[in-house]
Structure formats: C-alpha cells, structure tokens
Amino acid sequence: MSITLGSVLISDPVDVCCGELLARNGIPVTIKYKLSKEELIKELQNHEGLIVRSETKVNNDVFARCPKLRVVGRAGTGVDNIDLQAATKKGVIVLNAPGANSISACELTCTLICNLARNVPQAVQSLKEGRWDRKLYAGFELSGKTLAVVGMGRIGREVARRMQAFAMRVIAFDPLLTQQVADEIGVEKLSLDEIWPTADYITVHTPLIPQTRNLINATTLAKCKKGVYIINVARGGIVDEEALLNALKSGDCAGAALDVFVEEPPKNPVTLQLIAHPKVIATPHLGASTEEAQQRVAEEIAQQFLALSGKSTKYAITGI
Ligand code: NAD
Ligand code: MLT
C-alpha cells in the first residue's frame, strides 16, 4: 500500500540531491527557506509532504491547520523540532534519517575531546593574536585517561571505538547496553553512580528525554573528579548550562566542549557566558555538518518518501 504525494515542500537547507531524487521520480518539489509559521502554514495548503532539518518548527498549530499534510521527514537523527503527538493525532507520518550522520557526529566528538586535552582552539587564537604562550597552553595526554560514554547507541559506540585507539580506558552507561555488547566493544559497563567519580572525560550521546534532561547537573558534577571534562554533541538540555558554568568558574570542571545548546542560536545570558568561558570550546551545532552526512541524510529521506509513495524498492514501508 502507498500514499499519494502530489508535491513536497523542503523548508530548510537540505542537500540538493533530495529534491532532485524526488523530482526525477515524478514528485514535484518546492524549496522555500526561512518561512514564518503563518507562511509555512499557507504554503503547506498545497503540499502533502514536508522535509525539514532543524530550523522549521513543525508544531501542533501546523498539524492542526494543514489538512493536506501526510508526511513530515527530518533530514537528520533527532525529531525534536516536530511535535510527534500532534502528528499522531492527525495521522501524519514522521520520518527521520537515523544513522546517516552518526559517523560525522562521532568524529566531531572525538575532535573536541582531543582539542580539550591540548587547548588547540585557544592556542591557535592566541598565536593569531601575536602571542607565543607555550606554558599557558600545555595540556594532558589522553593515553591512560578514562572516558565515560553515557548513551551507547549509534554515536556513543563509534566514539568509544575511536577513543580506544588513543589508549583511553572507556567506561559506559546505557540502560540498554548488554554485557555481551560491552565486551564486544571492549568497554566497562558501569552504573551512573560509578561513572561520576571515575571519569576524566564524560561525553553524552543520549536523546533529550525527561530521563536525560539535566543529567549532568550541580549534584552529578559535585560527584565527579575535580578537573573533569564534559562533552555534549547530543542535545542542549542534557547538560544543565548554569551548573556547568558554575563548575567551570570554581575549577571543579576543567573544560567543556559543546556543540548543542538549550536555545539555538543561543541568546540567554547563561549560555552566552558559557560559550565565552576560556575553558569552553563551542561549535554551532556542527555534528552533522559534513558533505558526506548531508548527502546521506538527504538521499535517505528522499528514498523513504519514494518508498511511501510506492516509487522505490530501496526501503519497504509496510503497515500504512
Ligand atoms: P541512538 O538512539 O542510537 O542512541 C541513544 C542511546 O541513548 C540509546 O542506546 C539509548 O538506550 C541511550 N539512552 C536513553 N536514555 C538513556 C539514559 N537515561 N542514560 C543513558 N543512555 C540512555 O542515538 P544516536 O544516533 O547515537 O544519537 C545520540 C544523540 O546525538 C541524539 O540526541 C541525537 O539527536 C544527537 N545527534 C546530534 C548531532 C549533532 O549535530 N550534534 C548529530 C546526530 C545526532
Ligand atoms: C540530528 O539530529 O541529526 C542533528 O541534530 C544534526 C542536524 O540535523 O543538524
């Protein structure tokens, strides 16, 4: 069984191969970015499909006022900007491309861990500004240090594997991690209470859900080793930004690398102070921003739209 997709709106920058693939298979595509909510709703009166990345917020109002809409696809992993409950209520299918950008997010995480250990961004900036400050930017070896991976899904596992090549001891917590998988990857499966006082570096790779909101907070940071490093390339909100800022100011936390923030782009003063802190390396949600990942997510989401409309054999979508 398939559904008729007369046309599709792409409302965020997604690799061109997405629209091309749909158009080549007889699904007309309209590309319009930076639409206000009202503009989006007006435009969606004409389309059965919508493809977004992060900027477009597909909320209850959009689902309620766009009766033609049948499918929303996110060219990425998380579907945080799509109201799933509202979609379900209206019978709209929501698709994503989990896994298509995992390697890119993993590689950014590993890059940030190395940069934290060796103060690379700060040293580069200092030299560009004309200083020769070898003492200030001395760092630490990763070899022999303990990395905690919280969330051992697609990205967490890849990070664990790669950081083992630096001779790091990798410990991990994930409620779904089995002893067998932990043994296969060569990580030590610990409880969170065991993780906090043991880790030199803690990297989070969970979704943002009630159980993970503010997972790293004032209480958990107080249980960590003095001088712990925190890395978040998952979702803003998993780390309590105010608690992290306080731990950096007190020196309890030696540094943090953040790709994601509670509000994006960040405007609130706490986040801005955090980004400006000399011990923080901050990137503007670049985890999936590689040519390879963007092509993969774009193609995968287009293929899923084609499968839904009965035009592709690459994915078998059943039960519609
Ligand atoms: P995944 O679903 O493969 O893995 C998530 C893991 O988290 C699962 O194994 C799950 O069991 C675990 N988990 C759930 N609740 C937990 C808890 N309370 N404590 C510990 N572990 C818990 O997801 P993924 O593809 O690896 O993505 C991980 C995160 O990275 C997501 O938030 C995703 O949105 C984000 N992400 C960010 C970027 C970026 O650009 N920065 C790119 C891709 C993905
Ligand atoms: C994702 O969920 O895939 C990431 O946030 C990356 C992105 O879409 O930019």
12 vs 40: CA distance, rounded Å: 11
Neighbour-count burial of 295, counting CB atoms closer than 10 A to its CB (0-12 exposed, 13-18 middle, 19+ buried): middle
What are 281's two structure tokens? 């390396």
CA dihedral 267, 211, 95, 14 (to 10 degrees): 30
Active site residue 235: yes
**CA of 42 relative to ligand 2 center, distance in Å:** 26
For residue 315, which amino acid is it? Y
Respond yes or no on whether ipTM tops 0.95: yes
Q: What is the pTM of this model?
A: 0.96
Active site residue 65: no
**CA of 300 relative to ligand 1 center, distance in Å:** 19
pLDDT score recorded for residue 1: 67
pLDDT score recorded for residue 2: 85
64 vs 189: CA distance, rounded Å: 45
pLDDT score recorded for residue 312: 72
- Tell me if 53 CB under 6 Å of ligand 2: yes
Active site residue 264: yes
pLDDT score recorded for residue 163: 98
Q: Tell me the helix, strand and coil percentages in the chain, rounded to 5.
A: 40, 15, 45
Number of Cβ within 10 Å of residue 226's Cβ equals 10
> For 280, phi and psi rounded to 5 degrees?
-110, 135
**What is the CB-side half-sphere exposure of residue 137 using CA atoms within 13 A?**
17
CA dihedral 20, 29, 299, 292 (to 10 degrees): 80
- The number of the ligand nearest the C-alpha atom of 259 reads 1
pLDDT score recorded for residue 106: 98
Coil, strand or helix: which one is 173? Answer: strand
pLDDT in tens, 128-149: 999 999 999 999 999 999 999 9
**CA of 293 relative to ligand 2 center, distance in Å:** 10
Nearest atom within ligand 2 for CA of residue 54? 8
Can you spell out the DSSP letters for 79-137? -TTB-HHHHHHHT-EEEE-TTTTHHHHHHHHHHHHHHHHHTHHHHHHHHHTT---TTTT
- Tell me if 107 CB under 6 Å of ligand 1: no
Q: Give the residue, by CA position, lying nearest to ligand 2 atom 8.
A: 76
Number of Cβ within 10 Å of residue 58's Cβ equals 26
What are 10's two structure tokens? 């792409």
Tens place of pLDDT per residue across the chain (320 aa): 688 999 999 999 999 999 999 999 999 999 999 999 999 999 999 999 999 999 999 999 999 999 999 999 999 999 999 999 999 999 999 999 999 999 999 999 999 999 999 999 999 999 999 999 999 999 999 999 999 999 999 999 999 999 999 999 999 999 999 999 999 999 999 999 999 999 999 999 999 999 999 999 999 999 999 999 999 999 999 999 999 999 999 999 999 999 999 999 999 999 999 999 999 999 999 999 999 999 999 999 999 999 999 987 566 555 55
> For 130, phi and psi rounded to 5 degrees?
95, 5
84 vs 33: CA distance, rounded Å: 22
**Residue whose entry in the numeric block shows the structure tokens 């003063």:** 269
- Tell me if 205 CB under 6 Å of ligand 1: yes
For residue 255, which amino acid is it? G
- The number of the ligand nearest the C-alpha atom of 12 reads 2
- Tell me if 288 CB under 6 Å of ligand 2: yes
